[in-house]
Structure 1
Amino acid sequence: MLNRNQIQGYLAYDGDLSVGWCNAADIESYAGFVPDFARKNTCGKTISIVCFEIAPEYRGKGIALAFIDRVCSDAKTKGYAAVEGYAKLSDERNDFDYQGPVRLYQKAGFVEVTRENGQIVMRKTL
Structure 2
Amino acid sequence: MDIEVRAATDFDGVRALVGPKRPDANVCWCLSHRVTAKENASLHGPERGELVRRMCASERPPGVLAYDGDEPVGWAGVAPRADTQYARSRKIPRVDDLDVWTVWCLRVRPGHRGKGILPRLLDGAVDFAREHGAPAIEGYPVDNRGEKVDLTMAFVGFRSLFERAGFVRAADTDSVSGGFPRVVMRLDLR
Normalising by structure 1, we get a TM-score of: 0.83
Equivalent residue of 2:152, what SS? coil
Conserved? CA contact 2:93–2:171, under 8 Å: no
1:115 matched residue in structure 2: 172
Query: d(CA) in 2 for partners of 1:58 and 1:81?
Result: 32
RMSD over aligned Cα atoms = 2.3
Query: d(CA) in 2 for partners of 1:94 and 1:7?
Result: 29
Conserved? CA contact 2:74–2:107, under 8 Å: yes
Deviation at 1:32, TM superposition (A): 5.5
Deviation at 1:37, TM superposition (A): 4.5
Gapped regions of structure 1 (runs ≥ 5) = none
Question: Relative to structure 1, is the Cα distance of residues 104 and 35 closer, same or farther in structure 2, using a 3 angstrom cutoff?
Answer: farther
1:104 matched residue in structure 2: 161
Higher mean C-alpha displacement, 74-83 vs 47-56: 74-83
* Structure number with higher helix proportion: 2
* Structure number with higher strand proportion: 1
Equivalent residue of 1:104, what SS? helix
Q: Per-residue CA shift, 1:21-73, capped at 9, x if unaligned?
A: 11111111112587434442145121100101111322222212112212222
Higher mean C-alpha displacement, 93-102 vs 5-14: 5-14
Question: Relative to structure 1, is the Cα distance of residues 62 and 101 closer, same or farther in structure 2, using a 3 angstrom cutoff?
Answer: same
2:135 matched residue in structure 1: 81
Query: d(CA) in 1 for partners of 2:134 and 2:84?
Result: 16
Conserved? CA contact 2:81–2:87, under 8 Å: no
Q: 2:116 matched to 1:53?
A: no
Which structure: larger Rg?
Answer: 2
Question: Relative to structure 1, is the Cα distance of residues 93 and 37 closer, same or farther in structure 2, using a 3 angstrom cutoff?
Answer: closer
**Residue type of the alignment partner of 2:119:** L
**Residue type of the alignment partner of 1:22:** A
Equivalent residue of 1:36, what SS? coil
Query: d(CA) in 1 for partners of 2:187 and 2:86?
Result: 22
Percentage identity across aligned positions?
A: 28
Equivalent residue of 1:79, what SS? coil
1:124 matched residue in structure 2: 187
Question: Relative to structure 1, is the Cα distance of residues 9 and 40 closer, same or farther in structure 2, using a 3 angstrom cutoff?
Answer: closer
Q: 2:151 matched to 1:95?
A: yes
Conserved? CA contact 2:139–2:184, under 8 Å: yes
